Amino acid sequence: MTPETPETESLVLDSVERFLEAEVRPHARRLDHADEYPAAIVEKMKALGLFGCTIAPEHGGLGLATATYARIVERIAAVWMSLAGIVNSHLILAAAVSRAGTEAQKRRYLPRFATGELRGGVALTEPDAGTDLQAIRTVAVRDGDHYVVNGAKSWISNGGTGNVFALLVKTDPKAEPRHRGMSLFLAEKGPGFHVARKLDKLGYHGIDTCELVFEDYRVPADRLIGGVEGRGLQQILSGLELGRINVAARGVGLARAALEDAVAYSQVRRTFGKPICEHQAIQLKLGEMATRLEASRLLTESAALAFDRGERCDMEAGMAKYFATESAMENAAECLRIHGAYGYSREYDVERYYRDAPMLLIGEGTNEMQRIIIARQLVARHPA
């Protein structure tokens, strides 16, 4: 994608910030504590065009560069991280269609994704297949002009409120290597597609995370993304690079919120006759938090720019996702310590940062897996 001019990007970011301050910040704490889906906020997000951030203008989207999108996500996550997740899964779905879909699929779905008329995500993970997606057991069998799907998916973001998903299945369970038997479908809700339950979580409230069950669910054959079986894993992995950049940007936003709250509180909280920001123990924490934040932001920008250039960037996205999310976790913990007992109170946002951060370490591929990806790509790019 072509980078926006500084003036255009500034206008977009200013619009997002005004929306966040007016429509999100006053309600985030209440909605988070109630674990309530922010339906009214989502409608305003649709009006802003956020569900079409990275969808091309010819399909009705904003066509923003990934670097600009990452800056939007950072700002959203600094106010309420869950909203970024509502957009993220949806845009991974859109990226799969944009990159691998047939022309008919692009015409049918991308304009409706861009407006938010159709919203959803990706249905990949299963109870025994998370990081190892090739171990999925959900099967689709061809039956005339349809495929019949049976299986279950777990930990699916937007599972309750979304209405269409990129569904990863086995169309040839006996294929070797296993990825050659995997296909990706555009699965709209209908008979045989059941939301089994909403999962309760430590944090990341507001966004619905669900178990989905497919019982003789019939999906038209023309919803096979790309129109050819056996390419599903590769199709979704390219979208997951965008997802990992999103999660990295969420880490940046959460690390930023924790730092800003810590700096502000340290200047008003006094001990031993002076603000705690004047104590070296607190200064050491603030210095580390600020450095982690800036390094995370630069890694995320580097990955986003590589993605926009069309380069393979699983290493760059993995680095950004790994470092930024670990930074969010560490900054959240330090922010809580700086606030002391108040950080443990539900009257402050600090405890939410501490509950939200662990999800980032796990989502879109665990940080353990990111380090393995980084190492493998490092060796591949620098053969002896």
pLDDT tens digits, residue range 280-321? 999 999 999 999 999 999 999 999 999 999 898 999 999 999
Residue 165 parent element (H or E): strand 164-170
pLDDT of amino acid 316: 96
Question: 3-state DSSP helix/strand/coil percent for the chain, to nearest 5?
Answer: 60, 15, 25
pLDDT tens digits, residue range 27-84? 999 999 999 999 999 999 999 999 999 999 999 999 999 999 999 999 999 999 999 9
CB 1, CB 63: distance < 8 Å: yes
pLDDT of amino acid 1: 62
pLDDT at position 15 over 90: yes
pLDDT at position 339 over 70: yes
Q: Which of 4, 316, 326, 364 is labelled catalytic?
A: 364
229 is annotated as an active-site residue: no
Q: At what angle do helices 66-100 and 39-48 cross, to 10 degrees?
A: 90
pTM of the model: 0.94
Tell me the Ramachandran region of residue 273: left when phi exceeds 0, alpha when psi lies from -120 to 50, beta otherwise: left
Percent share of the chain, pLDDT over 90: 91
Domains identified in the chain and CATH numbers: 6-115 (1.10.540.10), 121-231 (2.40.110.10), 234-381 (1.20.140.10)
**Mean of the per-residue pLDDT values for the chain?**
95
pLDDT at position 267 over 80: yes
Residue from 178, 151, 180 nearest 165 by CA? 151
pLDDT at position 5 over 80: no
Residue 128 DSSP SS3: coil
pLDDT of amino acid 172: 96
